[in-house]
Structure 1
Amino acid sequence: MESQRRTRKGDSLLIRILEDQHSKEAMNYFENLILERFSGLERSKVLQIGWASKEFEENLLIKIGQSSNLIVLEPSSYLIDNMRLEIGSKGEGKVFFKSDFDFEHFPFDNDVFGSVVSVLFWEKSPNRIKTLLEIQRVLVPSGIAILTTFLKNSMREFFDLYSEVLVQFDLNQLVQLLQQVRSMLLSKEEYQKLLYDCYFSMVKVTVKEFKMFFSNSIELFNSPFIQSTWLPVWETIGGRESERIFWHIRQTIDKYFSNRKIPLTINGGLIIGIK
């Protein structure tokens, strides 16, 4: 019964994400980074980790061509059903889904896929090093991984406000925790080293910055995009103090920006690794 409630709650957020303009904006941005660089190996399988939009899947299938198949790892049965519905007949005999998988142990043999792509979802792994090692393992020699990520200094405006509020209330231990969390967002150079350490033979990481705009603090905190990506991170920092901290952050935001849009910077990273 409890698992059913969690599933319904999760599906409710997923429905809101699919309908949310900020989520569409962010996904579209990261999806285009991948599509601009994707060039699949002829007659090879492609592995996709996590869901993506209808437009992304349609363009990816065109780039894959008739001689290749797409296998999608996605834990949500709701999203799988949604993707099947959106792809329709275009995916018949070409697109296959797996919902039962482990980020650290993919259900495939070595040297299976010509390409592996993921729009942010791979970073939900509890251990990104093990996931990168799995991606490297299932790629054929000279196969390519194309991944997107949030890089260092993403959401810096919010993190700075967060820090100001913590200092204001003498929550110095949380200031240190905030800095630790910020350091988990890796730089371009750190990702390059990470992939080389995971035995990729060639690595390239590019950075593209874009801004998201919110009308006020209510829209910001109620955004399904924020709730599914950044809010859990911010709550980890605040812990039991989160509600009080967020209340003061909202007050600060609305006072400072008044009738202006709230800009939040995203440092989008495109990671390319060749086995």
Structure 2
Amino acid sequence: MTVQPKRTLKVEKLARIYDDEIAPVWGTRFGKMLLRNLAVPERGQVLDVSCGTGYPTTEILRRMSDGSRLIAIDASSAMLDVARRKIADLGPLGKKGVFFRTESPVPKLSFADDVYDLVVCNLGLTEMPSLEVALRDFARVAKRGGEVRCTLPLAGTFQEFHDLYREVLIKHDKHEALDRLDRYIARYPTADQVDQCMHGANLEGDIEVEEFTLLFKSSREFFFAPVIEYGPLAEWKEIAGAGQEMQDVFWYIKEAIDAYFDGRPFEVTVKAGCLIGKKVEAREQDEMELDLDGAIEEIDEEDTGLPARPRKMAAGSVRADFQVEEVDADDEDVVIDEDSPEEQALDAFIEGKRRPSHLDRTGPFDEEELETAGHERAESEDD
């Protein structure tokens, strides 16, 4: 059974935002890694999982020969509508064998075993509850000798922000929030962990790693950039706590960013990974059938030693949560939890909102700490 969220006006709007503002700085950069040296076999069967708004789907289509077929799936029909329009704009090229289907890959793909010559997934792994279980399922539908290519953000992504967030929590004795932050950061897999999961999925290959940076003029620009606002921000809010506790933490974070990076851009690093693996003969210890029919909550990662994936990783994704069925836009009984961290606006960025009087007068860091940080920055830049 597949889970297909209902359409809402919000989802349609977010699909446009993703394609116009997030994909150029996020999905496209990962997608270019996926496309590097990619060749589609003659009359090849290709599956694009979580294809989003159609990149790299359109580029894969350009590399397909006559007789090849491409199946592109996504849980969001709004995303697929954008992708379909892109294919239509290709003219005769768009009439090649490409088929779209609204389908979630969770808990498992609906396709039969050993069907596809090539399975690709650009950033979709970040939405799945288990990296290894997802890779095993991708390998299941691939032919023997077929190729699986996937991209995902790795450990070290947004490290500058995470370090600053940790400093704020330590400074203000937010121990529970600090534990939540550390658990969240640990969920970004390392290249070695991805390699371990590939091995467990009977995929023989390697993972390529590249770094790129995102620049923001201020804390306001950072938090309101679509790649942040519609990506990891909701999870970061939940880490801070609820209500005024969350607001206080983000006042401190805002002030820390603006103080540390006064007069220069706030630069954050993204560590992008692209795994490329060939499906090989199952090793004897891996020949047991993987049961993917159970509920997602029952997936156990103890065998791999990897923590569960975060609900919303820093993927800049605006796809619907696979676990929550959306309601129709015309439904009068729609109830939104305005007190949830995700729905709460950040007071620190509301015009005219005064800084709470109960916050430390010195802000997140005192003058001596800021001066020390300034010297450290200057020394690192000189190096």
User: Above 0.5 in TM-score?
Assistant: yes
2:82 aligns to what? 82
In the alignment, the residues of structure 1 paired with residue 55 and residue 274 of structure 2 have an alpha-carbon distance, to the nearest angstrom, of 19
Indicate the SS of the match to 1:111.
coil
Q: Does 1:18 align with 2:19?
A: yes
- Contact 1:13 1:224 (8 Å CA) reproduced: no
In the alignment, the residues of structure 2 paired with residue 67 and residue 232 of structure 1 have an alpha-carbon distance, to the nearest angstrom, of 44
- Contact 1:27 1:53 (8 Å CA) reproduced: no
Larger strand fraction of residues: 1
1:172 aligns to what? 175
Larger displacement relative to structure 2 (126-135 or 206-215): 126-135
In the alignment, the residues of structure 1 paired with residue 87 and residue 170 of structure 2 have an alpha-carbon distance, to the nearest angstrom, of 50
User: What displacement does 1:43 show?
Assistant: 1.4
Q: Does 1:143 align with 2:141?
A: no
1:30 aligns to what? 30
1:209 aligns to what? 211
Unaligned runs of 5+ in 2: 280-383
Unaligned runs of 5+ in 1: none
Aligned AA for 1:260?
Answer: R
User: What displacement does 1:274 show?
Assistant: 1.1
In the alignment, the residues of structure 1 paired with residue 261 and residue 23 of structure 2 have an alpha-carbon distance, to the nearest angstrom, of 22
In the alignment, the residues of structure 2 paired with residue 220 and residue 247 of structure 1 have an alpha-carbon distance, to the nearest angstrom, of 14
Q: Give the aligned length.
A: 270
In the alignment, the residues of structure 2 paired with residue 129 and residue 233 of structure 1 have an alpha-carbon distance, to the nearest angstrom, of 23
In the alignment, the residues of structure 2 paired with residue 132 and residue 181 of structure 1 have an alpha-carbon distance, to the nearest angstrom, of 21
Question: Which structure 2 residues correspond to residues 235-250 of structure 1 after superposition, within 5 A?
Answer: 235-240=237-242, 241-250=245-254
Larger displacement relative to structure 2 (97-106 or 161-170): 97-106
1:106 aligns to what? 109
> Could you say if the C-alpha distance between residues 271 and 55 of structure 1 is closer, same or farther in structure 2, counting changes exceeding 3 Å?
closer
1:115 aligns to what? 118
What per-residue deviation string (whole Å, max 9, x for no partner) do you get for residues 58-91 of structure 1? Answer: 3211222222111111111111111111111433
In the alignment, the residues of structure 2 paired with residue 29 and residue 96 of structure 1 have an alpha-carbon distance, to the nearest angstrom, of 24
- Contact 2:49 2:105 (8 Å CA) reproduced: no
Indicate the SS of the match to 1:40.
coil
2:62 aligns to what? 62
User: What displacement does 1:221 show?
Assistant: 1.0
- Contact 2:52 2:79 (8 Å CA) reproduced: no
Larger helix fraction of residues: 1
In the alignment, the residues of structure 2 paired with residue 210 and residue 72 of structure 1 have an alpha-carbon distance, to the nearest angstrom, of 28
What per-residue deviation string (whole Å, max 9, x for no partner) do you get for residues 203-236 of structure 1? Answer: 2011101101112111211122112322133134
Task: Give the TM-score taking structure 2 as reference length.
Answer: 0.67
> Could you say if the C-alpha distance between residues 93 and 37 of structure 1 is closer, same or farther in structure 2, counting changes exceeding 3 Å?
closer
Larger radius of gyration: 2
What per-residue deviation string (whole Å, max 9, x for no partner) do you get for residues 169-228 of structure 1? Answer: 20112212211111111111111011101222x120111011011121112111221123
